[in-house]
A and B are shown apart, each in its own frame.
Chain A
C-alpha cells in the first residue's frame, strides 16, 4: 500500500467530511460571487442608470453575505481540521511527525478547495444570471448589463484565497501547538448549567422525571455545542432580516409620500428648464392629468445653502415664520420617523460673502452675517437635485441682498398638484422631454435639473423595496438552508456516535421503549432548541431595532411570529420524518 492508496481510501471514506466542507464553501463562494458581480457592475452602480436609493440596498445585504462568507470559511476549515485530526493523531502515534501530518491535512484541504473553485464559479455565474434576470424583468430595472466586467471574480477569488490561507495557517498552528495526547483524547466536558441546578432544587419531582432524559441528551452535548451556536446565529440572523424587510418596505412607500408633498417640481434658471406654462398644461391635459394647484417660488442658492425669503415661504407654504434682518432660521426638511439618522445640527452663524468681483466703495467684498434664531423640522417641498442640502429662511431684505451676490444663483421652483398623481407617470416623462428639447440642453446637463415627482419617487421606492426584499429573501433562504443543512446533513456524521451512545444505554439496562422515548426527547432538544433560541434572540433584536427606528410597527411582530411558527412546524416535521426513518 502506498501513500496515494491510503489518501484515496481516506478520501472515499471521509467524503462526508469533505462534502460538508465543500458544500459550505461552494455555497458561500457562489453567493459572494453573485453579490460581488452586482457590486462591481458599472451599470448597476451608475446612479444615472439605477437610482442610488435602489443600488445602495446591495451594500447592507452584501455586507451580510460577506460576514456569512467569512464565518463559513473559518467554521468549515475548523470542522475540516477537527475531523481530520482524529485520523492523523493516530498516525502521529504510529510514527508520523506532526509536520508531516500538518502537510498531509493541508494537501487534502487544498485539493478540496481547488476542486470546488470552478464548480463554485459556475454556480455563482448561474446564480448571478438569475439575479440579473429577476432585477431586469421582475423588478424592472432597465439598462443593466449582466457581468459587464470580471472584477466580481477577481474580488471573490482574492477574498477566498486570503481567508482560506489565513484559516489554514491558524488551524495548522493550533494543530502543531496541541499536545498529541489531547488530540487523541476526546475530552468530555461535563458542566452543570444553572437551569438544571434550579430545577433540581425547586422541583425535585420534575427533576427525577427529566433526569434520565437530560443525562441522555448530555451524552450528545459534546457533538452539538458548536452546531447549536451556529444554527442559533443563523436563525436569529434570518429573523432579523425578515424583520428588516417587513419594516422597511412600507417605510420606503411612506417616505416617498412624506418627502413628496407636491406631485411635480422642477426648477428653472437661465438657460435651463425655461418653459411656456401653457405648453406644460397642455401636455398634462393630453395625458388626462388635471392641475389642481400650481405655484412658483423664488430661492437663491450657493454651494452650501438654499436661501428662501420669509414672506415667500409663509405665503406659498402656509407657514408663519418671523425673521428679522441679520437673522435666519435653519429649516430641516426631514421626517424624524423615516428610520434614518439625520444631521440636524443648526448652523449658528452664517457668513455669506460675495467672493467674486463684487466689491463695495471701500474696495472690500460685500459680506452678510446671519445669526440663527432657531430651527424647524418641516418638509415644504420635494427633494430635487437643484437644491442645496441645507435651507435657511431669511428676511426679505437680506434675501434681496443675497440675490445680488455673484456666487449665488437665483432659481425658480415650479410646483404642481394633480387631481390623480398615480396616473401622472407618462405626463411627467413628456414634460421632462419637452423641457429638454425646449432648452436644447444635453442629457448630462439636464440631469441635475430633472423633474422631481411623487409618482417617480413612489415607483423608485417600490422598486427599491422589491429589490431589498429580493436580495434579503435570497440571503434569508441561504441562512435557512445553511441552518437546516447543519441540522440534518450533519446527522450523518453524528449517526455513529448516536449508535454508540444508544448501545451504551442498552448496556446499562435501558429498555428499547425507554431509549425510544429518550430519542424523541433528544431530537426535540437537538432540532427545536437552537431554532427556538435563534427565533427568540432574532425577534428581540428586531423589536429593539424597530422600536428605535420606527417607534414599533406591530405588523413586524405579527409577521415574525407567523414565520417563527412556520419554521418550527417545518423543522418538527423533518425531525419526525427522520425519526420514522431511523425506526
Chain B
C-alpha cells in the first residue's frame, strides 16, 4: 500500500526575469515500510522535491497524496495539523532547539499537539529505548555529538509514529562512523515502527541503507533501482548502477 503518491508534479522559479524549471513531470510512489533514497547532483531538484512532498512548498502542477490525502488542497492550518500527525522531518543541521534538552526536543511535536502527560511519557520512553539514548535524555545540545543530535532529531521525527519521514541530507554533516550509527538507527525504526522513509542524499553509503534508489537529474527521474533487503552489498550495487548510466558517480550524484 502506498503511503506517498506523486502524480506529474512540476515546479519552476523565476530568477532575473528567466524561468528556471526545477522539477519536470515527476511521478513516483513510496510504499509503507519502504526506505527510498533520492540521489542526484547539486541543482537536480532533490531538496525542492522533498519540500513539495512534505508540504513546505507547493507544486505548479500535479498532485501529492500522503495517506490518500491530497496535501496541496490543504490550507495552512489543515496542513499544520496533518503534518504534525502524519509526517516527520529530519534535517542535515538537525534543527533542534538549543533552549531545550534532548528529551524536551523529542517531546516537542507532542507538546504542539497538546498530548497529555501520560501519553507523552509512554511515547518518550519507547523512543528512548528503541534509539538507545536513555542516558542522553537530560543532556543539553552542546553536551552531545553530531551523531547523537541526529538521533535525537530522528526521535523527534518518530515520536508521533508518522506514516512517512522525510530526511534532507541526514548524514551530510556526520563522519562515516556516525553515519553508520544514524542510518542503522533509521533502518531499525523503519523496521520496528513501519514508517516509510524518504531520504535525500548525495552519499552512496547513506543510500546503501535504503530499499530503493531514485536518481534525479535536471529535475527529472532518470533512473530507479530497487534492492532486496537480503542484498548485503548494496553499496557496490549502487556504484555499479551509477557507472552503468555512463560518467563517474561523482558527476551523477
Say whether A and B bind each other. Answer: yes
Binding site for B on A (CB under 8 A): 1-3, 6, 9-10, 12-14, 87, 90-100, 179-181, 184
The answer to whether B81 and A97 touch across the interface, beta carbons within 8 angstroms, is: yes
In chain B, residues 54-108, which have Cβ atoms closer than 8 Å to a Cβ of chain A?
56-57, 76-77, 79-81, 83-85, 89, 91, 95-100, 104, 107-108
Tell yes or no: B144 within 8 A of A by CB.
Answer: no
CB contacts (< 8 Å) of A92 on chain B: these are: 80
Residue of B nearest to A91 (CB): B112
Name 15 interchain pairs, CB-CB below 8 A, sorted by A. Answer: A1-B117, A6-B108, A10-B99, A10-B100, A12-B99, A90-B96, A90-B97, A91-B108, A94-B108, A95-B109, A96-B112, A97-B77, A97-B80, A97-B81, A184-B91
Q: In angstroms, how far is the closest chain B Cβ from the Cβ of A105?
A: 14
The answer to whether B80 and A96 touch across the interface, beta carbons within 8 angstroms, is: yes
Known: A9-B99, A87-B99, A93-B95. A98 touches B76 (CB 8 A): yes
Interface size on B, residues (CB 8 A): 32
CB contacts (< 8 Å) of A14 on chain B: these are: 99
The answer to whether B99 and A1 touch across the interface, beta carbons within 8 angstroms, is: no
Tell yes or no: B193 within 8 A of A by CB.
Answer: no
The answer to whether B97 and A10 touch across the interface, beta carbons within 8 angstroms, is: yes
Residue of B nearest to A12 (CB): B99
The answer to whether B77 and A95 touch across the interface, beta carbons within 8 angstroms, is: no
Instruction: Identify the 7 closest CB pairs spanning chains A and B, nearest first.
Output: A95-B84, A13-B99, A97-B80, A10-B99, A94-B109, A90-B95, A95-B83
Tell yes or no: B149 within 8 A of A by CB.
Answer: no
CB contacts (< 8 Å) of A2 on chain B: these are: 111, 117
The answer to whether A99 and B108 touch across the interface, beta carbons within 8 angstroms, is: no
Known: A94-B89, A94-B156. A13 touches B112 (CB 8 A): no
Q: B111's contact among A3, A12, A180, A181, by CB below 8 Å, is which?
A: A3
CB contacts (< 8 Å) of A94 on chain B: these are: 83-84, 89, 108-109, 112, 156
The answer to whether B57 and A179 touch across the interface, beta carbons within 8 angstroms, is: yes
The answer to whether A96 and B98 touch across the interface, beta carbons within 8 angstroms, is: no
Tell yes or no: B120 within 8 A of A by CB.
Answer: yes
Give bound CA distance, A443 to B108, whole Å. 75
Tell yes or no: B113 within 8 A of A by CB.
Answer: yes
Q: In angstroms, how far is the closest chain B Cβ from the Cβ of A500?
A: 10
CB contacts (< 8 Å) of B91 on chain A: these are: 184
The answer to whether A181 and B56 touch across the interface, beta carbons within 8 angstroms, is: yes
Give bound CA distance, A90 to B120, whole Å. 20
Residue of A nearest to B94 (CB): A90
CB contacts (< 8 Å) of A6 on chain B: these are: 100, 104, 108, 111
Give bound CA distance, A364 to B56, whole Å. 89
Q: B77's contact among A1, A10, A99, by CB below 8 Å, is which?
A: A99
The answer to whether A1 and B98 touch across the interface, beta carbons within 8 angstroms, is: no
CB contacts (< 8 Å) of A9 on chain B: these are: 99-100, 104
Tell yes or no: B180 within 8 A of A by CB.
Answer: no
Q: In angstroms, how far is the closest chain A Cβ from the Cβ of B207?
A: 23
Known: A1-B107, A180-B56. A98 touches B80 (CB 8 A): yes
Give bound CA distance, A90 to B109, whole Å. 10
Give bound CA distance, A181 to B49, whole Å. 12
Tell yes or no: B51 within 8 A of A by CB.
Answer: yes
CB contacts (< 8 Å) of A96 on chain B: these are: 80, 84, 112
Give the one of A1, A90, A91, A99 with max B CB within 10 A: A1
Give bound CA distance, A321 to B168, whole Å. 92
The answer to whether A93 and B99 touch across the interface, beta carbons within 8 angstroms, is: no
Give bound CA distance, A180 to B80, whole Å. 11
In chain B, residues 16-31, which have Cβ atoms closer than 8 Å to a Cβ of chain A?
none
The answer to whether B98 and A13 touch across the interface, beta carbons within 8 angstroms, is: yes
Q: In angstroms, how far is the closest chain B Cβ from the Cβ of A426?
A: 69
CB contacts (< 8 Å) of B107 on chain A: these are: 1
The answer to whether A95 and B97 touch across the interface, beta carbons within 8 angstroms, is: no
The answer to whether A181 and B57 touch across the interface, beta carbons within 8 angstroms, is: yes
Residue of A nearest to B99 (CB): A13
The answer to whether A93 and B56 touch across the interface, beta carbons within 8 angstroms, is: yes
Give bound CA distance, A2 to B117, whole Å. 8
Residue of A nearest to B114 (CB): A3
Give bound CA distance, A9 to B140, whole Å. 12
CB contacts (< 8 Å) of A184 on chain B: these are: 91, 95
Residue of B nearest to A93 (CB): B89
CB contacts (< 8 Å) of B112 on chain A: these are: 91, 94-96, 100
Known: A1-B111, A181-B51. A95 touches B99 (CB 8 A): no
Residue of B nearest to A184 (CB): B95
Q: In angstroms, how far is the closest chain A Cβ from the Cβ of B96?
A: 8
The answer to whether B76 and A95 touch across the interface, beta carbons within 8 angstroms, is: no
Residue of B nearest to A87 (CB): B97
Give bound CA distance, A184 to B50, whole Å. 14
Give bound CA distance, A3 to B96, whole Å. 17
Give bound CA distance, A3 to B111, whole Å. 6
Give bound CA distance, A179 to B97, whole Å. 20
Give bound CA distance, A90 to B93, whole Å. 12
Give bound CA distance, A122 to B89, whole Å. 48
The answer to whether B104 and A1 touch across the interface, beta carbons within 8 angstroms, is: yes
Given A12-B99, A95-B109, A97-B80, 15 more pairs with CB closer than 8 A: A3-B111, A9-B104, A13-B98, A87-B97, A87-B99, A90-B96, A90-B97, A94-B83, A94-B112, A95-B113, A96-B84, A99-B77, A179-B57, A181-B56, A181-B57
Give bound CA distance, A99 to B98, whole Å. 23
CB contacts (< 8 Å) of A100 on chain B: these are: 80, 112
CB contacts (< 8 Å) of B96 on chain A: these are: 90
Give bound CA distance, A99 to B51, whole Å. 20
Give bound CA distance, A375 to B81, whole Å. 81
Give bound CA distance, A14 to B91, whole Å. 23
The answer to whether A99 and B76 touch across the interface, beta carbons within 8 angstroms, is: yes
Residue of A nearest to B124 (CB): A1
Residue of B nearest to A88 (CB): B97
Give bound CA distance, A13 to B140, whole Å. 11
CB contacts (< 8 Å) of B95 on chain A: these are: 90, 93, 184
Give the one of A93, A95, A100, A179 with max B CB within 10 A: A95
Q: In angstroms, how far is the closest chain A Cβ from the Cβ of B47?
A: 9
CB contacts (< 8 Å) of B84 on chain A: these are: 94-96
The answer to whether A95 and B81 touch across the interface, beta carbons within 8 angstroms, is: yes
Give the one of B89, B99, B117, B120 with max A CB within 10 A: B99
Q: In angstroms, how far is the closest chain B Cβ from the Cβ of A7?
A: 10
Q: In angstroms, how far is the closest chain A Cβ from the Cβ of B106?
A: 10
CB contacts (< 8 Å) of B57 on chain A: these are: 179-181
CB contacts (< 8 Å) of A91 on chain B: these are: 108, 112
Give bound CA distance, A95 to B160, whole Å. 11
CB contacts (< 8 Å) of A90 on chain B: these are: 95-97
CB contacts (< 8 Å) of A95 on chain B: these are: 80-81, 83-85, 109, 112-113, 160
CB contacts (< 8 Å) of B89 on chain A: these are: 93-94
CB contacts (< 8 Å) of B104 on chain A: these are: 1, 6, 9
Residue of A nearest to B103 (CB): A1
Residue of B nearest to A496 (CB): B98
CB contacts (< 8 Å) of B109 on chain A: these are: 94-95
Give bound CA distance, A94 to B114, whole Å. 13
Q: In angstroms, how far is the closest chain B Cβ from the Cβ of A180?
A: 5
Q: In angstroms, how far is the closest chain B Cβ from the Cβ of A439?
A: 78
Give bound CA distance, A93 to B76, whole Å. 11
Give the one of B57, B97, B114 with max A CB within 10 A: B97
